[in-house]
Amino acid sequence: MFAALEVDYSESDQDPTGEAFNNAEKMLTFYELDLGLNHVVRKWSEPTDNRANLLVQVPGGRSGTTGDFDGPSGVLICCEDHIIWRDMDSPQHRVPIPRRNNPLADPNRSVIIVATVMHKMKGAFFFLLQSEEGDLYKVTLEHETIKNAESDDAFVEVKSLKIKYFDTVSVASGLCILKSGYLFLASEFGNHYLYQFQKLGDDDDEPERSSSEYPQNGMADPHSALPVAYFRPRPLENLLLQDEMESLDPIIDAKVLNLFNTDTPQIFAACGRGARSTLRTLRHGLEVEETVSSELPGIPNAVWTTKLREDGKLYIHDSYIILSFVNGTLVLSIGETIEEVSDTGFLSSAPTLAVQQIGADALLQVHPHGIRHVLVDKRVNEWKVPAGKTIVAATTNKRQVVVALSSAELVYFELDLEGQLNEYQDRKPMGSTVLTMSIGAVPVGRQRTPYLAVGCEDQTVRVVSLDPESTLETISIQALTAPPSAICIADMLDASIDRNNPTMFVNIGLSNGILLRTVLDPINGQLTDTRTRIFQIPKLGSKLKQDTIPLAYTPRKMAVHPQYRYIYLAESDHRVLGPQETQKRLSELGKQGKKVPQAVLDLPPEIFGRPKAEAGQWASCIRVLDPVNSASVFDVALDNNEAAFSIAVVPFTGLNNEYLLAVGTASDTFVAPRSCTHGYIRLYRFLEDGRNIELLHKTEVDDVPLALLAFQGRLLAGVGNALRIYDIGKKKLLRKCENKAFPSAIVTLTTQGSRILAGDMQESVFYVTYKQNSNRLLIFADDTSPRWVTSHTMVDYETFAAGDKFGNVFINRLDQSISSQVDEDPTGAGILAEKGFLMGAAHKTKLLAMYHVGDIVTSIQKVSMVAGGREILLYTGLHGTIGTLVPLVSKEDVDFITTLEQHLRGENQSLIGRDMLSYRGYYTPVKAVVDGDLCERFALLPPARQSAIAGELDRTVGEVLKKLESLRVSSSGF
């Protein structure tokens, strides 16, 4: 059986008055799949509530084992303000959805269910329904099986439909109850959560509403509302938060900056909606959690942790922390607290080069003047270096020790079966100062690892044998581009080489920040398949370190001061009361003798949200953020129902190039259709090196300023469909120039020199030039396709890249001859004399590239993500997407990647059977862009298919994977 909500729009399409649409009935229809005829039969259809928006299936039918009914069948119809249970030829039951008891909220706002989940238990079931404010309701059906005494026939009769408040969580796009007693919540916006059920809400004091309380089970008058039921929100009682999955959804705006002065820039993303909004800093690194802390006497230059015994069952955790300083060593004992210990046998008066738990129960310390072998009974066997020499590098494992002397000699030690450390009779001269060394772990069932990697000052890495038959003989040499700073031999699983067994790699870190990964052949010790990497964390948003700063309202736009490391953010929320309006309404309620419980006012908005107000009400502020210290340092709340929509940092020539903060606001704004009583451009002066701002003056404009930009020492503003240039004045901004020829509204602005690119809300990007001699803003080129632009950036003087609201990224270019002609016209007279083409400007841009990314692009920037790497286009999407468009600079790369893409298109790897070529050209055929996500799936193909495709490319599988990795990492760092 299938159920559907249906509306017949045939009459509505022919009625221009709209009456037919208002009178159209919404039908609840049941369909049945006839397996014999293999088609669907419409079995039953009846009118239902016109405000119905969601159907939830109710268990029904008999169990195959016990013969009992699982439930009454039918559906729950979720409507505005109430729930209806309905089945064919059965009496309906209706119950109101409880709403929050908050006098500040809009009383005319309906309660709508947005997410549901049903859970079956042995002999029972229940539903969790969630409203658009995040409140969970538990819904149950009280039913009874009625049997016919004269026959075996039986049916289920519903006695009542019950609903009660359960808990409040973030608004979900999906809910899932696991059999293990957990609730997974996939949030509509923000992080996802995993909750554990503490109880099912059966034994609490929350009032429960039942359909049996109302005449005819709530259906006495289906067209009239039921009496309103209220509840008071509270902290979690039935659920316990167990885990949280970070999500960037939604990204409203983003900037790529290097505020931390590191080798790679950081991504600053303004994310979230309402009181759950955040500013997130994404940078390379992993999250850590501080468990215990202890003050240190100085700055350590190395740290180790070690166990006391080899037995992994009895001694699971490390017991000591060893810190090496310039002039000594500190040993700390790990327990409930961290305490310094002095009876470990380690030499504390010298720095430490290496620490190892060696053998069954001994410890080893390597220091510049020797090796200390500390036995279990605290006896110490010490080896001292020859006079006039010191140890400069060391590497160890559980049975082997190698040290490098200042004379460029290697000394090798090995543990015998009695636990004694013995020196090999010969020493290996290297011919160059040893900088770093590494030996791998001893393989299971072996006495030793056969290879040692040595990095030398002559920019080489040498593999030295530790086999008894060829001890300390050089096997292979790898030349480097810079001196090595660290080496690590490790066995790692690489599916491109061997899917089943780990591969031995030599990871070489160079002093210039490059990481080389070379395969070490376990048979002959040769180094092969060297890959160059920039050390990075591969996954955005999950493996990158996220620093989060909470915000008060939904972020709109952000700006950065070029001299101070602060971010300035415009925040605003629609249908939310600001602080001033909240106090005003509280005082009015007090005068009327109505008191609002303090517990309701004290509910944290980041959990429960803010009370929903009527349309046209806004809460807004301007915030100063310190991303380096992850703190909000200052904020200015906007009053008089003003909301901030745009922001920019502008140097004004009239103030000796002093930087001011310009903020575009509007009062009493309605979203659709867009309108406001007044628009404003506020100017703020920076105080305390950018930590504070002070209002300078406020200029009234006639529409919402959606885009602001610094332009030649003045302010460029997109106010509705007008593009204006403002200069500084004593009491307000002075309008110097204007062009009102834009079709709808200007939403994005970029500039180079005297050229301006203005993104129109519905008509793509316009090329504008400012002619100073005649003081004119002139449109001289536009796009042939009307696009709903959401963001754009200039790739070069003639080219721009942009994203639209349908999930497309496109690149357009203006002919260079037209560009030169416009620049050479001093007054713009030639532009004015030209005749328009295709109901627009005289010149049109040419489409160079087109690609459907599947997400609404909220920002796009031309940046270099890797030190010394090429510039790329980095974009962010509304659903938390962060992606890059990497230019291919050689014909070889283009031929390779396009051929690989053609092969992978035929593999049908989409989970939903989607054709990738048609998807990437969803609105316009894809042009000049290769699907990198599809190419990366080459690594997931079966080995046979990988080999076949690699053969078509005249490469090995390893070479294909290496080329893909090189194209991605060398340019984007991801």
Q: What is the mean pLDDT of each run of 10 residues along the chain (974 residues)?
A: 91 86 90 86 92 94 74 94 93 95 88 95 91 96 82 82 96 95 94 95 89 94 92 93 92 94 90 95 71 76 89 73 92 84 90 92 93 91 92 94 94 90 91 94 88 94 92 92 92 78 90 86 86 51 76 96 94 93 90 85 90 92 95 95 96 95 96 92 96 96 96 96 96 95 96 96 96 94 95 97 96 96 89 84 95 96 87 95 92 94 84 85 93 91 91 92 86 73
| DSSP code, position 576 | B
pLDDT value for 407 = 93
Angle, helices 891-905 vs 957-972, to 10°: value is 120
Residues in the chain: 974
pLDDT value for 291 = 64
CB 778 within 8 A of CB 739: yes
In 3D space, the residue among 447, 529, 454, 440 whose CA is nearest the CA of residue 491 turns out to be 440
The CA distance from 809 to 856, in Å, is 9
End-to-end CA distance of the chain: 48
CB 594 within 8 A of CB 102: no
In 3D space, the residue among 109, 45, 116, 49 whose CA is nearest the CA of residue 79 turns out to be 49
For residue 351, count other CB atoms closer than 10 A to its CB: 17
Q: Which residue has tokens 């305390």?
A: 688
pTM of the model: 0.80
pLDDT value for 716 = 97
The CA distance from 791 to 796, in Å, is 16
What is the SS3 assignment for 19?
helix
- Starting from the edge strand earliest in sequence, which strands make up the sheet with 460-465, in order? 434-439, 451-456, 460-465, 474-479
pLDDT value for 533 = 63
pLDDT value for 69 = 83
What is the SS3 assignment for 645?
strand
Q: Are strands 230-231 and 208-210 parallel, antiparallel or unpaired?
A: unpaired
The amino acid at 208: E
Is the peptide bond prior to 250 cis by the omega test (within 30 degrees of 0)? yes
Backbone CA torsion sign across 14, 19, 20, 22: positive
For residue 404, what are the contacts with CB-CB under 8 A and spacing of at least 6?
Answer: 391, 392, 393, 394, 410, 411, 430, 434, 437, 454
